[in-house]
Amino acid sequence: MMKMLVKHGPLCALRSAVMLRRNFDGVSKHLRVWSAGGVVKGLPGKDRRQIFSAPLRPINAESPASTTASSSSTSAPPPT
């Protein structure tokens, strides 16, 4: 489903379900959970539909803040 959002751009749950040949309820639930978790972005669309899109940056990419925080914690000397 994520590859489809990246390849085809923003889609509503119904269009995603049709393209995947899956049940609308299951696809819609997955997209809502992913949206709540920040995996995909949900935007209001027409007729109460929500349009879902893939994030602009890879999910597994570390932010600069998390990189510096993890490097500073590993360089600290052990307590004596």
The answer to whether the beta carbons of residues 31 and 70 sit under 8 Å apart is no
Q: What's the confidence (pLDDT) of residue 1?
A: 85
| pLDDT value at 80 more than 60 | yes
Pick the residue with more confidence: 48 or 74? Answer: 48
Neighbours of 13 (CB within 10 A): 22
The pTM of this model reads 0.62
Q: What's the confidence (pLDDT) of residue 16?
A: 92
Q: What's the confidence (pLDDT) of residue 78?
A: 61
CATH of domain 2-56: 1.10.10.10
Contacts of 39 (CB under 8 A, 6+ apart): 2, 55, 59
pLDDT tens per residue across span 1-58: 888 888 888 999 999 999 999 999 999 999 999 999 888 988 888 888 888 888 766 5
Instruction: List the domain boundaries for the chain.
Output: 2-56
